[in-house]
Amino acid sequence: MLEELEEYITYISDLRGYSDNTATVYYEDIVDFINFLESENIKNFNKVDYSIVRFYLMRLYNKKYSRSTVSRKLSSLRSFFKYLHKENKIKSNPFTLVSSPKKDKQLPKFLYDRDIEALFDVPDNTPLGIRDSVILETLYDTGVRVSELVNIKIDDIDFSSYTIKIHGKGNKDRIVLFGSYLEEILKTYISDSRKKLLKEKHNNYLILNAHGNKITTRGVAKIIDNLIKKTSIKIHVTPHVLRHTFATHLLENGAEILSVQSLLGHSSLSTTQIYTHVTNERLRNIYLKTHPRAHNK
């Protein structure tokens, strides 16, 4: 069964253009299911039917997995079995008979202006500190995903038009904009700090680690964790929270939702609309707290 899995991972990576992170998640989800099958002495995907799938779902719920995690695992397996069926490796796809659980409605976390300022004040003027400032400014100024950030190359940046070419999900390219804050720190970083980190190596990627190599998404997340610890910010801040903050602040300040959709690289407008719920909820809270006739008696 692992042989079919390896073939599938090669297929989605090389032919479908899935990112390394996405391919890794799919691999781990499917391996989890294969381990379950082996524990039930099932050694062939053709033996998997609706009852087996339901039993697997029960096990996931008994392990207290969240609805979103169960939905993700189902999505990974549904796609994998669709591939197996297409390649005539199985007679039918039992996952077409199973619906994903309704996801818990969770509004994305974001940072307020004062938190952004506090966070951006943390990095120092050392080469690594300047690098950290570039990470924060790029995530917040452009709204790129962390997987997109680590793949930005020097040649992708156009200072004359204040734009960066982003290689996004599904091999789709888009152009994002940046402002004067990021321009200044980028020029300082590229002309001085980055050269010190590079240590005479040849590397065209923008963001480098302490050894002068391309940084990983996990490396970026760890940097942000360490920076947050030096502030009074209480929420868990991931690189994606800065992306959420970018979108929320744009909409709060009057940006059109279609423009935000384009900048974020969302293929569906419904994905972007979650941020309108965030801004509407914030406005409602402000109204209830400040309007004289909005208070509860």
- Give the residue numbers annotated as catalytic, written as ranges: 145, 169, 240, 243, 266, 275
Rounded Cα distance, 25 and 4, in Å:
16
41: left (phi over 0), alpha (psi -120 to 50) or beta: left
What 3-state DSSP class applies to 164? Answer: strand
Residue with tokens 């390394």: 20
Residue with tokens 């796809």: 93
Give Cα separations from 136 to 67, 141, 180 (angstroms): 31, 8, 14
**DSSP-derived pairing of the beta strands 157-158 and 163-167:** antiparallel
Q: Name the phi and psi angles at 216, rounded to 5.
A: -100, 165
CB atoms inside a 10 Å sphere around CB 174: 15
Collect all residues with Cβ–Cβ distance below 8 Å to 139 and sequence separation of at least 6. Answer: 146, 149, 239, 242, 243, 246
SS3 assignment for 226-255: HHHCCCCCCCCCCHHHHHHHHHHHHHHCCC
Burial of 44 (0-12, 13-18, 19+ CB in 10 A): exposed
Q: What is the signed CA dihedral for 10, 14, 16, 21, rounded to 10 degrees?
A: 70
